[in-house]
Amino acid sequence: MPFEKKLFDLDGKVALVTGAASGLGRGFAQTLAQAGADVVIADIDKDHLDETEGILKGKGRKVLKIVADVSNPRDVARMVDESISNLGQLSIAVNNAGIITRPVRFHEMLPEDWNKVISVNLTGVFLSMQKEIEVMLKQGNGGSIINISSVLGLVGLDPELMPRVNYIASKHGVLGLTKQGAVEYAEHGIRVNAIAPSWFSGTSLSRDRNKVQTKEEQDLREERISALTPMKRRGRIDELQGLLLFLASDASTYATGQVFVIDGGWTAH
């Protein structure tokens, strides 16, 4: 079979990225735009979302900015409806929005902190997938949903690295949503996969984490992460581009219900 040069081309596609104001979400939006997609960027953080919009407009693609809270069903419905009414379709959805709370031991986790993270990281993906799938079913030509989980959706975390059971539970849950969505809608051409990154520099979660840690705690954390990662470093956001493009494009038309771990070897030992 001859090689298809346009295998990774997203020209004519419309992609939605949640949590697109900064970090991984911004990087994902840039990758999709560079590959030819028109992009809907959504986030609750309007100021940083404005910055992402400015960056994407330089890529020559259509950009639609929507301020939305993915834990709010009305916001999610509006987000998807506005995407369709303005850009006509939804081909790709990257459910990336996520938050953390301060680190405490399992038995010390406050119910309000548990609920806060679960509402965004897990319920937010559930609500988004519901609307995305509904639209893709109506369109009748399938689509690709990419959920952003974490390496902590597969394993627990060393207590020395200040784990948060609410975050870990939410990211495990995202994998369940991914697999069930894939099984239920595969026959309709809707593919649902997950990316599970480990420790990446420049993410919004890293920024939020640093706000609640001392410099000494940050340094000790970095030393421990490096020691436990076979590649001995954090990942770079650009190192997720190829995997995202693979899952968003026709290069992965027979892949669904899978978890793609990108972790520098973290889970290999």
Instruction: Note whether 48 and 25 are within 8 A (CB).
Output: no
First to last CA, the chain: 38
∠ Cα 111 117 119 (to 5°): 95
Instruction: Note whether 159 and 107 are within 8 A (CB).
Output: no
What is the spatial distance between Cα 153 and Cα 169, in angstroms, rounded to a whole number?
7
- Is there a catalytic annotation at residue 185? no
What is the spatial distance between Cα 140 and Cα 183, in angstroms, rounded to a whole number?
17
Q: Specify the pairing of strand 38-43 against strand 190-197.
A: unpaired
What is the spatial distance between Cα 185 and Cα 180, in angstroms, rounded to a whole number?
9
Tell me the H-state helices in the chain. 23-34, 46-57, 73-87, 111-117, 123-139, 165-185, 204-211, 215-228, 241-248
What is the spatial distance between Cα 4 and Cα 2, in angstroms, rounded to a whole number?
6
∠ Cα 87 186 38 (to 5°): 20
Catalytic residue chosen out of the listed positions 16, 122, 154, 167: 167
Active-site positions read 167
